[in-house]
């Protein structure tokens, strides 16, 4: 019989660090927490526990299980918080803390679907503007809503700030 003590823990394959749509997000994170414990990866374990607690807190607030979109929204919020922290730590001269937060961002992003790149965002914005005819700057809210719906429908993540900047550039160029 092979026990956990008799196995070499370094031979245990690590979890796939990518989004797996077949398994619920909390189940996937729980499996990765177990793997991180076995591999004694303290930083990864800490981040995964933080993510799991954020998801559980949101589930408790809602008083019902979270669906995929809500789970992804929680992770997007965590990423946004970490990006703000990186910026503040860099300004404050705390590079080691900024690096720690940046590593957490990479880990959290691995649980989300692929993010749209700048070129994809720009192409989506141009397509929506072409569909709408020739919207003016006052129609920016409508354009934003349509662009965000297009990316959401395609199952892609996109940062609202990036979309907003692209829409402003395109509408100002008209």
CATH at residue 136: 1.10.10
The answer to whether position 103 is within a domain reads: yes
Average pLDDT over residues 91-105: 93
For residue 132, pLDDT over 60 is answered with: yes
Grade residue 21 by pLDDT with cuts at 50, 70 and 90: low
In a domain, 53, yes or no: yes
| C-alpha to C-alpha distance for 146 and 128, rounded to whole angstroms | 7
What's the whole-number mean pLDDT along residues 9-19? 43
Task: Round the average pLDDT of the chain to a whole number and report it.
Answer: 82
Quick check: is 4 in a domain? no
The DSSP code for 23 is S
* Domain identity same for 64 and 21: yes
Residue 1: which pLDDT band, with cuts at 50, 70 and 90? Answer: very low
**Residue 68 belongs to what domain range?**
15-109
- Indicate if 133 and 95 belong to the same structural domain: no
pTM tops 0.85: no
Residue 76 and residue 50 share a domain:
yes
**Structure-token pair, residue 154:** 């395609």
Closest residue by Cα to residue 81 from 73, 69, 70: 73
User: Do 133 and 72 belong to one domain?
Assistant: no
Domain annotation covers residue 9: no
**Total of domains in the chain:** 2
Q: What is the DSSP letter of 121?
A: H
- The verdict on 28 and 99 lying in the same domain is yes
What's residue 20's pLDDT? 53
74 shares its domain with 138: no
Q: What is the pLDDT of residue 3?
A: 44
The two three-digit tokens of residue 23, written as one number: 């398994």
Residue 1, judged by CB atoms within 10 A of its CB (0-12, 13-18, 19+), counts as exposed
**More confidently predicted of 112 and 116:** 112
**Pair (104, 125) in one structural domain:** no
- Report, as an integer, the average pLDDT of 131-156: 82
Hey, how many other C-beta atoms are within 10 angstroms of the C-beta on 128? 22
């Amino acid at each position: 019989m092979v026990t956990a003590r008799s196995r070499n823990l370094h031979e245990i394959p690590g979890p796939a660090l990518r989004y797996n749509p077949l398994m619920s997000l909390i189940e996937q994170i729980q499996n990765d927490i177990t793997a991180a414990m076995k591999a004694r990866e303290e930083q990864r374990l800490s981040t995964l526990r933080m993510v799991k607690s954020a998801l559980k807190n949101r589930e408790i607030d809602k008083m019902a299980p979270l669906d995929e979109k809500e789970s992804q929204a929680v992770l997007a919020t965590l990423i946004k918080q970490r990006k703000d922290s990186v910026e503040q730590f860099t300004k404050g001269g705390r590079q080691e803390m900024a690096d720690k937060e940046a590593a957490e961002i990479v880990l959290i992003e691995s649980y989300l679907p692929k993010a749209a790149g700048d070129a994809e965002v720009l192409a989506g914005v141009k397509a929506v503007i072409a569909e709408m005819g020739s919207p003016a700057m006052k129609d920016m809210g409508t354009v934003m809503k349509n662009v965000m719906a297009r990316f959401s429908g395609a199952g892609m993540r996109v940062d609202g700030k990036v979309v907003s900047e692209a829409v402003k550039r395109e509408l100002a160029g008209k």
